[in-house]
Structure 1
Amino acid sequence: MITITLFAVIMSIFKIRDIFQDTNQTIESGVNRTSYIVGVEQAEANQLARNLIQTPSKVKNLQKFFQLDSADYLTYSQQHSNKDDFYYLPNQLSEFMQNNDSNRITLNLNQENKAIEVTLRNPGGKRIDSKKLVSKGLYYGIPLINDATFQSFGSIIINYSSKVLDNSLNYSPNSQDMQVFVISDVGRIRYTYNSELSKDALRTLTQDPNQNNILLNVLEKKYFVKSQKNGNGDLIISVVPKIIVYQKIAFNILLFLMGAILIDAFLWWSLRYIFHNYTIHLKSMTDALDAISNGDLKTRVPVPEQEGELNTLATGINDMLNAIDQYVLQIYQLQLEQKDANMKALQSQINPHFLYNTLEYIRMYALNEGEKELANVVFSFASLLRNNISQESTVTLAKEFEFAEKYIYLYQMRFPDQIGYQLNLDEKLKIMKVPKFIIQPLIENYFKHGIDLERFDNAVHIRADKVGEQVEISVADNGTPLTGEQLKSINDKLASQEVKPISGDRSIGLMNVKARMTGAFGSNFKMFIMNNQFKGVTVKMQIFLGE
């Protein structure tokens, strides 16, 4: 659950970073798109102004446009135009407005009291008082310069529709959260985008046109701001209200935390439900084992209906108790008849290490589940069994292989679908007598030092073959290989006449096996260890039978 909460916090941090990046991308896009459109329109306006005064004849034509009425100006234009190039100012201005999304052009000459306002509806123009001339909206004013004197003799003001700029800004990421302002070099706001989003920015920018830098600092208290000075002197400002950004952050944090809480709650409920049933079964097993430890050997552990570790464990315990019951009964009968020899033979049928290792696994399992009481009961029960069991000194190879298979099977119960094994015993060797427990320590070494429980292809192969007058017994695995230094050290000790443990847990079992096999077969026995092609270890024992 802590992991899920931590994951939600990390995801929130990444989301906050993305929100800030998106905000910065939004205001940068607003500035860049506006700067581009304003630059293009300014260039178009400049080009129109140059065309109007490109030649002395065009300058004179412009002056006549002011001095004459519409009919006389048309006559003048016809008389002074080339045959193939009719120059008529209303046509030029109308064509410009149609091609460039302009909706009004205002012409003004210094020596004239009246300015002329041209629109698509009134291409001939309307005369207005020059002193009352006021430009609004997205406009561009260009002075008309006399090329000879370099003096301004008038101006042209071109008003553009804001649709082009509006449409461009609509494609900006998160445009609904953005405001854009275009402010002229004299502090007049010429364009606004999404001004209704927050009116604080508009009020701030209209306080004092001559203190733009101060006003930008004021804006930054409530907005994320990006500004840029355009080539024509316009100041372009793009802002996103901080309150909107913080609301997004708060919403996403709340969303992630609510998701984490819901997942945690679901997992808590699921685990509580699962472990509640688990605890019930474990408690019933504890009670049964308590009764058994108190002498009631007829009690059996309840077996859960569902398949799983507890089912396997309970079944195994019950099978073991049934076998013990039978053995105890037989032993008791032998005691009554005072047949000590037969009783010992019957007792030897009980595999002591098998029973002890099974009970030790149950005890460790109980400890892992936090059931110390169950662990103590099993430990006591194991001690009781060990005190009443004796062992044979030799067995057949068939019996030894049978025990090895049971020992591996126990590990398969603990780790299902993770361990595979194969046993191959030559038919000629099944009745061969060997010291008891010569294979189990080698398998135990693999389970202690070689097995990797993160893998699902763990395998061990045990075989015994007769080749001529030689018997070869090998235990091979695909676990962890030994270094060259380790192999040399172990093989040197195995080849020596000394029978004592080598440093390291792995070697104690090897030396134990060597000591007992040497005692049984003398110098006809050899033992060595090597790495194999399966990237694991192979232990080989060779017995020379002689003539």
Structure 2
Amino acid sequence: MRKKFPLSIYKKTLLNRLLKNYALILASLILVGMVSIGMNTYWQAMGRGKTTTQEAVDLLSRSINDKNLQGKTMLNGLTDNQDKINSLNRYMGSDISEYLNYTYDEQLKTGNYLFLPSQVKNFYTTYENIESIIMVLNNYEGYYLSTNENKGGMKAKGTPDLEDKFYLSYPMIHPVTLEVFGSFYVEFSKQDMLSSLMHLTTYDGLSAYIFSETGYQLLTYTEVTKQMDQELIQKRMKETSELPIQSLMEKNLLEHLETVGGFNILVTISKEKIMKAVLSDLRILMVGGGVLILILLYLLYRTFTKYSQQVDIIMDSMALVTQGDLNTRIDEKMTQFELKELSNGINTMLDNIEQYIADIYKLEIKQQDAHMRALQSQISPHFLYNTLEYIRMYALSEGSEELADVVYAFSTLLRNNTDQAKTTTLEKELSFCEKYVYLYQMRYPDRIAYHFEIDDALRGLVLPKFSIQPLIENYFVHGIDFSRNDNAISVKARVVGKRVEIMIRDNGKGISDQKLSIIQEKLKQQTIELHDSIGLQNVNERLRAYFSPTFLMQVVSNEPSGLTIILSFEKEQKNEL
């Protein structure tokens, strides 16, 4: 049993003593803190200002790098192979109707649909901050222009207008010859960077500038008008292409970065604005400190009188749980704040424990039921096998050998279907198929002929079970004509060069040329969807997974009727199921 201590904390004398000690400690700490804060506020503000400039530079750098990467990705998507470059040249050198015919012809030849307006439209969908795209090819007059209003773009005359816009430019380089054949411009929205800068600082006076490698001013952001700084920056960039770092540092906190892509990023915060913010904070500090002392003394008294009561409620409940009463729950209405969360967590834990106990009990019952069903499933097949064997032996004893053969074939099929093995040998698979056909022959005498042939070298070949039987079953379900007396099916397995070839041939009804063409086309694809030919799809997927990409299924029509299905693969290559 947990030892309970007397609740002496509720006594007035002890509470007063605790309150007096904690009040002196808190008052002393607050006074020392106010003095320390007064001395260090300025330097902390300067540090925050420096951090802000660094964060602003990092933010702009990440944004510039992201946009630069997006621009390179878009350019690569338009020029990474000769077909795409030919499409660009054809678009700039012909009218839209000729270009449409060209893209259609190329799609028929290569299977790739390279229609420039559609490619550019996809960029606007992928990257939401694009304003416009411009491409200038060296060998053509005019340029290609795409905007948010006309995402598909058009050919424009003259030279593009790049003034006062956030454009990133890239040379268009041939991937093989490395020859520069044009220029690619992407105008990005400034709004995301401006919004991020607006929410970044707690001080007024933040300014940010971005210049391209050639000195072009891509972005200017100022929270207050700093005309002298702007004029100084523009003058120095025009004269020397360098930023006046030392001059700006006299009145500003400053952070400068030159990115790997050649962009110059400059961020400044006015020291004057920081000083005004610090003085304003210090005036509030003295009044706030006094109010804080009074509030803390009051809260201290209230907290000491309630906190211990709430802890005792929790400990009493836990003592009952340790004695085995799992139905005990803490009254959360009697607790507050972190103790309320603690109480909720303990109650949830107890609920989960009860649920786990119930789940384990149910699981044990289900396991017992599953074990019983497993025993029953083992008993039933053996009972059927023994019964069928008795019928076969009885038929032999009565001189009905044909009936005995039918029963034996059916028993063999049943054993094969209930066997849990995933693979078998080719010899066993064909023997199973032969018995399947034999049963149909007994059912329809003098109407069905069959022939099975296998090379000796392939008898021990391992392959997935039911690899050939579904194809033969398809013939009896869909292809055979029971009104005829010359129905025939043959299976031949042989080695052709380094490949194994299994041919299933019949003289049944066959299928239409249109459906055969669809099946042949889909069999060439990696993903097969033959919803009207489940047997073909099942065999194709299982053998392709087992014999790797070397596996090939072919379906051809016979003359005058019927189908031939050819399965071929390299004998050595296979994967484990």
TM (norm. structure 1) is 0.44
Structure with larger Rg: 1
TM-score (norm 2): 0.42
